[in-house]
Chains A and B, each alone.
Chain A
Amino acid sequence: MTKPRQWIERTIEVGLFLSALLSVLVTLGIVGVLLFETVGFFKTVPLLDFLTDTEWTPLFSEKHYGILPLFSGTFLTTSIAMAVALPVGLISAIYLSEYASRRVRTILKPILEILAAIPTVVYGYFALIFVTPLLQKVIPGLSGFNALSPGIVMGIMIVPIVSSLSEDAMHAVPAGLKEGGYALGSTRLQVATQVVLPAAFSGVVSSFILGISRAVGETMIVAIAAGLQPRLTLNPLVPIETVTAYIVQVSMGDTPTGTIEYQTIFAAGMSLFLLTFVLNIVSYLLRKRFREVYD
Chain B
Amino acid sequence: MTPDKTKALSADPTHAMEKDIAFKVEDLNVYYGEKQALKKIKVDIPTHSVTAIIGPSGCGKSTFLRCLNRMNELLPNFRIEGEIIFDGQNIYDKNVDVIDVRQRIGMVFQKPNPFPKSIYENVAYGLRIQGIKKRDLLDNIVEMSLKKAAIWDEVKDRLAHPALALSGGQQQRLCIARALAVEPEVLLLDEPTSAIDPIATGRIEELLRELVKSYTIVMVTHNMQQAARVSGSTAYFLLGELIEFDETSKIFTNPGDRRTEDYITGRFG
List residues of chain A with CB under 8 Å of any chain B CB. 101-102, 174, 176-187, 190, 194-195, 198-199
- Cβ of B99: which chain A residues have Cβ within 8 Å of it? 185-187
Q: Are A176 and B129 in contact (CB under 8 A)?
A: no
Q: Are A198 and B102 in contact (CB under 8 A)?
A: no
Majority DSSP secondary structure for residues of A touching B = helix
Q: Are A183 and B106 in contact (CB under 8 A)?
A: yes
- Cβ of B107: which chain A residues have Cβ within 8 Å of it? 179, 183
- Cβ of A179: which chain B residues have Cβ within 8 Å of it? 71, 74, 107, 109, 113
User: B128: nearest residue on chain A (CB-CB)?
Assistant: A194
Of B12-20, B43-51, B174-182, the one contacting chain A is B174-182
B29 within 8 A of A: no
Q: Are B71 and A194 in contact (CB under 8 A)?
A: no
Nearest 4 A-B pairs (CB), nearest first? A185-B103, A176-B113, A183-B107, A184-B126
- Cβ of A178: which chain B residues have Cβ within 8 Å of it? 74
Q: Are A182 and B103 in contact (CB under 8 A)?
A: no
- Cβ of A185: which chain B residues have Cβ within 8 Å of it? 99-103, 126, 129-130, 182
- Cβ of B100: which chain A residues have Cβ within 8 Å of it? 185
Q: In the complex, what distance in Å separates the CA atom of A176 from the CA atom of B13?
A: 39
- Size class of the B contact interface (CB-based, 8 Å): 20 to 34
Given known A182-B102, A185-B103, contact A177–B115 (CB-CB < 8 A)? yes
Q: Are A184 and B109 in contact (CB under 8 A)?
A: no
Residue in contact with A180 in the complex, picked from B76, B113, B130, CB distance below 8 Å: B113
Q: In the complex, what distance in Å separates the CA atom of A136 from the CA atom of B115?
A: 49
11 other A-B residue contacts (CB within 8 Å) besides A180-B175, A186-B99, A190-B129: A174-B113, A176-B109, A179-B113, A180-B114, A182-B102, A183-B102, A184-B102, A187-B99, A187-B129, A194-B128, A199-B115
Q: In the complex, what distance in Å separates the CA atom of A147 from the CA atom of B203?
A: 65
List residues of chain B with CB under 8 Å of any chain A CB. 69, 71, 74, 76, 99-103, 106-107, 109, 111, 113-117, 125-126, 128-130, 175, 178-179, 182
User: B115: nearest residue on chain A (CB-CB)?
Assistant: A195
Q: Are A182 and B71 in contact (CB under 8 A)?
A: yes
Q: Are A184 and B178 in contact (CB under 8 A)?
A: yes
- Cβ of B126: which chain A residues have Cβ within 8 Å of it? 184-185
User: A103: nearest residue on chain B (CB-CB)?
Assistant: B76
- Cβ of B114: which chain A residues have Cβ within 8 Å of it? 180
- Cβ of B179: which chain A residues have Cβ within 8 Å of it? 183-184
Given known A183-B69, A183-B71, contact A194–B113 (CB-CB < 8 A)? no
Q: In the complex, what distance in Å separates the CA atom of A199 from the CA atom of B115?
A: 8
- Cβ of A194: which chain B residues have Cβ within 8 Å of it? 125, 128-129
Q: In the complex, what distance in Å separates the CA atom of A190 from the CA atom of B109?
A: 19
Given known A174-B113, A179-B113, A182-B71, contact A102–B129 (CB-CB < 8 A)? no
Nearest CB on B from A203, distance (A): 12
Nearest CB on A from B196, distance (A): 14
Q: Which of A101, A182, A187 has the most CB of B within 10 A?
A: A182
Q: Are A199 and B116 in contact (CB under 8 A)?
A: yes
Q: In the complex, what distance in Å separates the CA atom of A174 from the CA atom of B164?
A: 14
User: B101: nearest residue on chain A (CB-CB)?
Assistant: A185
Q: Are A198 and B117 in contact (CB under 8 A)?
A: yes
Q: Are A180 and B115 in contact (CB under 8 A)?
A: yes
